[in-house]
Protein backbone atom coordinates (compact mmCIF):
# COMPACT_ATOMS: atom_id res chain seq x y z
CA UNK A 1 0.00 0.00 0.00
CA UNK A 2 2.82 2.43 0.82
CA UNK A 3 4.41 1.80 -2.61
CA UNK A 4 1.08 2.43 -4.34
CA UNK A 5 0.57 5.64 -2.40
CA UNK A 6 4.03 6.90 -3.38
CA UNK A 7 3.01 6.87 -7.03
CA UNK A 8 0.60 9.71 -6.28
CA UNK A 9 2.87 12.06 -4.35
CA UNK A 10 3.24 15.64 -5.66
CA UNK A 11 6.94 14.98 -6.33
CA UNK A 12 6.13 11.96 -8.50
CA UNK A 13 2.76 12.50 -10.21
CA UNK A 14 1.72 10.53 -13.28
CA UNK A 15 3.71 11.50 -16.37
CA UNK A 16 2.88 14.29 -18.81
CA UNK A 17 0.33 13.88 -21.56
CA UNK A 18 1.90 12.37 -24.68
CA UNK A 19 0.43 15.22 -26.71
CA UNK A 20 2.37 17.78 -24.68
CA UNK A 21 -0.55 19.34 -22.81
CA UNK A 22 -0.06 20.49 -19.25
CA UNK A 23 -1.83 18.58 -16.49
CA UNK A 24 -3.59 19.38 -13.24
CA UNK A 25 -1.52 18.58 -10.15
CA UNK A 26 -2.02 15.49 -8.05
CA UNK A 27 -3.69 16.12 -4.71
CA UNK A 28 -6.30 18.58 -3.49
CA UNK A 29 -7.65 21.21 -5.84
CA UNK A 30 -9.81 23.70 -3.96
CA UNK A 31 -13.08 24.38 -5.82
CA UNK A 32 -12.58 28.05 -5.06
CA UNK A 33 -15.49 30.34 -4.27
CA UNK A 34 -15.72 33.54 -6.29
CA UNK A 35 -15.96 36.48 -3.85
CA UNK A 36 -18.58 39.01 -4.90
CA UNK A 37 -18.56 42.68 -3.97
CA UNK A 38 -21.59 44.63 -2.72
CA UNK A 39 -22.57 45.43 -6.33
CA UNK A 40 -22.63 41.73 -7.19
CA UNK A 41 -19.50 41.82 -9.36
CA UNK A 42 -16.44 39.63 -8.76
CA UNK A 43 -14.18 41.13 -6.10
CA UNK A 44 -10.73 40.51 -7.54
CA UNK A 45 -8.88 41.90 -4.50
CA UNK A 46 -10.74 39.46 -2.26
CA UNK A 47 -10.03 36.69 -4.75
CA UNK A 48 -6.33 37.46 -4.47
CA UNK A 49 -6.55 37.08 -0.70
CA UNK A 50 -8.13 33.64 -1.07
CA UNK A 51 -5.45 32.54 -3.54
CA UNK A 52 -2.79 33.71 -1.09
CA UNK A 53 -4.44 31.79 1.75
CA UNK A 54 -4.35 28.54 -0.22
CA UNK A 55 -0.78 29.07 -1.36
CA UNK A 56 0.20 29.48 2.30
CA UNK A 57 -1.83 26.50 3.55
CA UNK A 58 -0.39 23.94 1.16
CA UNK A 59 -3.40 23.38 -1.10
CA UNK A 60 -2.04 21.55 -4.14
CA UNK A 61 -4.05 23.45 -6.75
CA UNK A 62 -7.05 25.68 -7.41
CA UNK A 63 -10.14 24.85 -9.43
CA UNK A 64 -11.81 28.16 -10.27
CA UNK A 65 -15.24 28.99 -11.71
CA UNK A 66 -16.79 25.58 -11.10
CA UNK A 67 -20.09 24.97 -9.34
CA UNK A 68 -18.85 26.40 -6.02
CA UNK A 69 -17.22 29.25 -7.96
CA UNK A 70 -20.58 30.15 -9.57
CA UNK A 71 -18.97 30.12 -13.00
CA UNK A 72 -22.20 29.34 -14.83
CA UNK A 73 -23.77 32.51 -13.37
CA UNK A 74 -21.00 34.84 -14.55
CA UNK A 75 -20.77 36.28 -18.03
CA UNK A 76 -17.75 35.37 -20.21
CA UNK A 77 -15.99 38.65 -19.50
CA UNK A 78 -16.31 38.14 -15.75
CA UNK A 79 -15.10 34.56 -16.05
CA UNK A 80 -12.02 35.64 -17.97
CA UNK A 81 -11.26 38.36 -15.41
CA UNK A 82 -11.51 35.88 -12.52
CA UNK A 83 -9.34 33.30 -14.29
CA UNK A 84 -6.69 35.88 -15.12
CA UNK A 85 -6.67 37.32 -11.59
CA UNK A 86 -6.37 33.87 -10.00
CA UNK A 87 -3.45 32.83 -12.20
CA UNK A 88 -1.69 36.16 -11.75
CA UNK A 89 -1.94 36.04 -7.95
CA UNK A 90 -0.90 32.40 -7.85
CA UNK A 91 2.30 33.45 -9.59
CA UNK A 92 3.32 29.89 -10.36
CA UNK A 93 3.25 28.88 -6.67
CA UNK A 94 0.01 26.97 -6.98
CA UNK A 95 -1.38 25.57 -10.26
CA UNK A 96 -4.74 26.84 -11.47
CA UNK A 97 -7.38 24.81 -13.34
CA UNK A 98 -10.20 26.82 -14.91
CA UNK A 99 -13.70 25.49 -15.43
CA UNK A 100 -14.84 26.58 -18.89
CA UNK A 101 -18.12 24.70 -19.32
CA UNK A 102 -21.03 26.45 -20.99
CA UNK A 103 -24.13 25.61 -23.00
CA UNK A 104 -22.43 26.01 -26.38
CA UNK A 105 -19.17 24.79 -27.86
CA UNK A 106 -18.00 28.16 -29.19
CA UNK A 107 -18.08 29.80 -25.75
CA UNK A 108 -16.25 26.87 -24.16
CA UNK A 109 -13.49 26.97 -26.79
CA UNK A 110 -13.08 30.72 -26.28
CA UNK A 111 -12.84 30.39 -22.49
CA UNK A 112 -10.42 27.45 -22.75
CA UNK A 113 -8.13 29.34 -25.13
CA UNK A 114 -8.15 32.32 -22.79
CA UNK A 115 -7.30 30.14 -19.79
CA UNK A 116 -4.32 28.70 -21.64
CA UNK A 117 -3.18 32.14 -22.72
CA UNK A 118 -3.14 33.53 -19.18
CA UNK A 119 -1.26 30.56 -17.71
CA UNK A 120 -3.76 27.98 -16.40
CA UNK A 121 -2.31 24.48 -16.43
CA UNK A 122 -5.58 22.84 -17.41
CA UNK A 123 -9.28 23.38 -17.98
CA UNK A 124 -12.36 21.38 -17.05
CA UNK A 125 -15.59 21.27 -19.03
CA UNK A 126 -18.96 20.21 -17.65
CA UNK A 127 -21.36 18.60 -20.08
CA UNK A 128 -23.37 21.13 -22.12
CA UNK A 129 -26.62 21.88 -20.38
CA UNK A 130 -30.26 22.73 -21.17
CA UNK A 131 -30.66 20.55 -24.28
CA UNK A 132 -30.25 16.78 -24.36
CA UNK A 133 -27.52 15.36 -26.58
CA UNK A 134 -26.58 12.03 -28.13
CA UNK A 135 -23.26 10.50 -27.14
CA UNK A 136 -21.76 11.42 -30.51
CA UNK A 137 -22.80 15.06 -30.01
CA UNK A 138 -21.01 15.08 -26.66
CA UNK A 139 -17.92 13.43 -28.14
CA UNK A 140 -17.76 16.07 -30.85
CA UNK A 141 -18.22 18.88 -28.29
CA UNK A 142 -15.42 17.78 -25.96
CA UNK A 143 -13.08 16.91 -28.84
CA UNK A 144 -13.54 20.33 -30.42
CA UNK A 145 -12.80 22.03 -27.09
CA UNK A 146 -9.58 20.04 -26.65
CA UNK A 147 -8.45 20.74 -30.21
CA UNK A 148 -9.27 24.41 -29.83
CA UNK A 149 -6.96 24.85 -26.81
CA UNK A 150 -4.11 22.36 -27.24
CA UNK A 151 -1.72 24.11 -24.84
CA UNK A 152 -3.66 23.06 -21.72
CA UNK A 153 -4.74 19.72 -20.33
CA UNK A 154 -8.46 18.96 -20.57
CA UNK A 155 -10.71 17.26 -18.03
CA UNK A 156 -14.32 16.25 -18.42
CA UNK A 157 -16.43 17.48 -15.52
CA UNK A 158 -19.02 14.89 -14.49
CA UNK A 159 -21.76 16.63 -12.49
CA UNK A 160 -25.16 15.04 -13.13
CA UNK A 161 -26.87 17.00 -10.37
CA UNK A 162 -26.26 20.30 -12.15
CA UNK A 163 -26.51 19.33 -15.83
CA UNK A 164 -29.23 16.71 -15.50
CA UNK A 165 -27.43 13.72 -16.98
CA UNK A 166 -24.29 11.63 -16.57
CA UNK A 167 -21.49 11.34 -19.08
CA UNK A 168 -21.15 7.62 -19.89
CA UNK A 169 -17.97 6.04 -18.56
CA UNK A 170 -17.31 4.70 -22.04
CA UNK A 171 -17.45 8.21 -23.50
CA UNK A 172 -14.92 9.47 -20.96
CA UNK A 173 -12.55 6.61 -21.71
CA UNK A 174 -12.96 6.98 -25.46
CA UNK A 175 -12.10 10.68 -25.33
CA UNK A 176 -9.02 9.99 -23.19
CA UNK A 177 -7.92 7.28 -25.64
CA UNK A 178 -8.57 9.16 -28.87
CA UNK A 179 -8.26 12.92 -28.34
CA UNK A 180 -4.84 14.44 -27.55
CA UNK A 181 -4.98 16.66 -24.49
CA UNK A 182 -7.98 14.98 -22.86
CA UNK A 183 -6.42 13.66 -19.67
CA UNK A 184 -9.25 12.56 -17.44
CA UNK A 185 -12.33 13.40 -15.44
CA UNK A 186 -13.52 15.20 -12.35
CA UNK A 187 -16.47 13.19 -11.05
CA UNK A 188 -18.82 14.84 -8.56
CA UNK A 189 -21.19 11.90 -8.27
CA UNK A 190 -21.60 9.58 -5.32
CA UNK A 191 -20.51 6.30 -6.94
CA UNK A 192 -17.20 4.73 -5.98
CA UNK A 193 -18.14 2.08 -8.53
CA UNK A 194 -17.93 4.63 -11.33
CA UNK A 195 -14.59 5.91 -10.01
CA UNK A 196 -13.34 2.33 -10.08
CA UNK A 197 -14.67 1.79 -13.61
CA UNK A 198 -12.59 4.68 -14.94
CA UNK A 199 -9.46 3.37 -13.27
CA UNK A 200 -9.97 -0.29 -14.21
CA UNK A 201 -9.59 0.65 -17.89
CA UNK A 202 -6.76 -1.30 -19.50
CA UNK A 203 -5.96 1.27 -22.14
CA UNK A 204 -4.74 4.79 -21.48
CA UNK A 205 -5.76 5.27 -17.86
CA UNK A 206 -7.43 8.62 -17.12
CA UNK A 207 -6.52 11.03 -14.38
CA UNK A 208 -9.47 10.81 -11.98
CA UNK A 209 -10.39 13.49 -9.46
CA UNK A 210 -13.24 12.88 -7.08
CA UNK A 211 -15.58 15.80 -6.38
CA UNK A 212 -17.57 14.28 -3.53
CA UNK A 213 -15.99 15.19 -0.19
CA UNK A 214 -17.23 11.95 1.38
CA UNK A 215 -15.36 9.77 -1.14
CA UNK A 216 -11.82 11.15 -1.11
CA UNK A 217 -10.20 8.36 0.92
CA UNK A 218 -11.87 5.44 -0.90
CA UNK A 219 -11.16 7.08 -4.25
CA UNK A 220 -7.47 7.34 -3.38
CA UNK A 221 -7.45 3.67 -2.42
CA UNK A 222 -8.58 2.64 -5.92
CA UNK A 223 -6.09 5.00 -7.58
CA UNK A 224 -7.62 8.45 -7.96
CA UNK A 225 -5.12 11.25 -8.64
CA UNK A 226 -6.79 13.61 -6.21
CA UNK A 227 -9.89 15.57 -5.26
CA UNK A 228 -11.60 18.78 -6.30
CA UNK A 229 -13.08 19.86 -2.99
CA UNK A 230 -15.58 22.59 -2.17
CA UNK A 231 -14.87 22.09 1.54
CA UNK A 232 -11.21 22.88 0.94
CA UNK A 233 -12.40 26.51 0.88
CA UNK A 234 -13.22 26.12 4.56
CA UNK A 235 -10.82 23.49 5.91
CA UNK A 236 -7.96 23.12 3.41
CA UNK A 237 -5.70 21.79 6.15
CA UNK A 238 -8.11 18.92 6.83
CA UNK A 239 -8.68 17.99 3.18
CA UNK A 240 -4.97 18.15 2.37
CA UNK A 241 -4.38 16.08 5.50
CA UNK A 242 -6.56 13.25 4.18
CA UNK A 243 -4.57 13.05 0.95
CA UNK A 244 -1.08 13.54 2.35
CA UNK A 245 -1.63 11.05 5.17
CA UNK A 246 -2.70 8.53 2.54
CA UNK A 247 0.31 9.27 0.34
CA UNK A 248 2.63 8.77 3.33
CA UNK A 249 1.04 5.45 4.27
CA UNK A 250 -0.64 6.71 7.46
CA UNK A 251 -3.91 5.07 6.49
CA UNK A 252 -5.68 5.16 9.85
CA UNK A 253 -5.02 8.89 10.14
CA UNK A 254 -6.23 9.46 6.57
CA UNK A 255 -9.41 7.50 7.28
CA UNK A 256 -10.14 9.36 10.51
CA UNK A 257 -9.65 12.70 8.79
CA UNK A 258 -12.00 11.52 6.05
CA UNK A 259 -14.62 10.76 8.69
CA UNK A 260 -14.22 14.25 10.18
CA UNK A 261 -14.62 15.78 6.72
CA UNK A 262 -17.71 13.64 6.10
CA UNK A 263 -19.25 14.94 9.32
CA UNK A 264 -18.73 18.53 8.15
CA UNK A 265 -20.40 17.64 4.85
CA UNK A 266 -23.32 16.09 6.71
CA UNK A 267 -23.67 19.18 8.91
CA UNK A 268 -24.33 21.18 5.74
CA UNK A 269 -26.97 18.79 4.39
CA UNK A 270 -30.21 20.44 3.32
CA UNK A 271 -28.67 23.91 3.18
CA UNK A 272 -27.86 25.93 0.04
CA UNK A 273 -24.45 24.44 -0.74
CA UNK A 274 -22.64 27.47 -2.16
CA UNK A 275 -24.23 29.80 0.38
CA UNK A 276 -23.15 27.49 3.22
CA UNK A 277 -19.58 27.29 1.95
CA UNK A 278 -19.38 31.07 1.62
CA UNK A 279 -20.79 31.49 5.12
CA UNK A 280 -18.11 29.19 6.54
CA UNK A 281 -15.35 30.94 4.56
CA UNK A 282 -16.42 34.24 6.13
CA UNK A 283 -16.63 32.50 9.51
CA UNK A 284 -12.93 31.66 9.21
CA UNK A 285 -12.15 35.32 8.61
CA UNK A 286 -11.77 35.28 4.84
CA UNK A 287 -13.75 37.16 2.17
CA UNK A 288 -16.47 35.38 0.23
CA UNK A 289 -19.30 37.86 -0.17
CA UNK A 290 -22.82 37.13 -1.34
CA UNK A 291 -23.99 34.67 -3.95
CA UNK A 292 -24.97 35.65 -7.50
CA UNK A 293 -28.77 35.81 -7.88
CA UNK A 294 -30.80 33.68 -8.14
CA UNK A 295 -28.48 31.39 -6.15
CA UNK A 296 -29.55 31.65 -2.48
CA UNK A 297 -27.31 32.80 0.31
CA UNK A 298 -27.54 31.26 3.77
CA UNK A 299 -30.39 32.88 5.70
CA UNK A 300 -30.25 33.64 9.45
CA UNK A 301 -32.31 30.58 10.46
CA UNK A 302 -30.20 28.35 8.25
CA UNK A 303 -27.01 29.82 9.68
CA UNK A 304 -28.28 29.19 13.21
CA UNK A 305 -29.11 25.58 12.31
CA UNK A 306 -25.63 25.10 10.86
CA UNK A 307 -24.00 26.57 13.96
CA UNK A 308 -26.03 24.23 16.18
CA UNK A 309 -24.89 21.21 14.16
CA UNK A 310 -21.25 22.33 14.22
CA UNK A 311 -21.35 22.88 17.99
CA UNK A 312 -22.10 19.18 18.43
CA UNK A 313 -18.99 18.13 16.51
CA UNK A 314 -15.99 18.55 18.82
CA UNK A 315 -13.54 17.09 16.31
CA UNK A 316 -14.33 19.86 13.83
CA UNK A 317 -13.69 22.80 16.14
CA UNK A 318 -9.87 22.99 15.69
CA UNK A 319 -10.23 22.99 11.91
CA UNK A 320 -12.74 25.84 11.92
CA UNK A 321 -10.72 28.32 13.97
CA UNK A 322 -10.48 31.81 12.39
CA UNK A 323 -7.29 32.31 10.42
CA UNK A 324 -6.19 35.08 12.75
CA UNK A 325 -4.98 37.72 10.36
CA UNK A 326 -6.43 41.09 9.37
CA UNK A 327 -8.53 41.11 6.21
CA UNK A 328 -6.30 41.91 3.25
CA UNK A 329 -3.08 41.47 5.23
CA UNK A 330 -1.54 39.20 2.61
CA UNK A 331 -2.06 41.59 -0.25
CA UNK A 332 0.69 43.85 -1.39
Q: Phi then psi for 297, rounded to 5 degrees?
A: -85, 175
Can you spell out the DSSP letters for 318-331?
A: GGGS---S-TTTT-
Closest CA to 60 of 229, 207, 280, 249: 229
3-class DSSP assignment, residue 163:
helix
The contacts of residue 211 (CB under 8 Å, 6+ apart) are 31, 158, 159, 186, 187, 188, 189, 227, 228, 229
- Helix/strand/coil for 122: strand
* 299 Cβ contact partners less than 8 Å away, ≥ 6 residues apart: none
> What residues have CB less than 8 Å from 124, skipping those under 6 apart?
63, 66, 97, 98, 99, 100, 101, 154, 155, 156, 157, 186
* Nearest residue to 227 (alpha-carbon basis) of 266, 254, 253: 254
Question: Which residues are known to be catalytic?
Answer: 67, 130, 157, 186
Amino acid sequence: MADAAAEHTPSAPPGPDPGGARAAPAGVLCALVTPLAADGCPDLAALAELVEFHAERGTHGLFVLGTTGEGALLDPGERKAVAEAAVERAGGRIPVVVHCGAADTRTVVDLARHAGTVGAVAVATVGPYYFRYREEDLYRHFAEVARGAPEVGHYLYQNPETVGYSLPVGLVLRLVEEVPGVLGVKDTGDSIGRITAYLAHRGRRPHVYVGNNALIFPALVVGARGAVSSLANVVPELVVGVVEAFWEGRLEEARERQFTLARLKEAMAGLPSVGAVKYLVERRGLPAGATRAPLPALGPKQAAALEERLAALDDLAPWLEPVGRPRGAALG
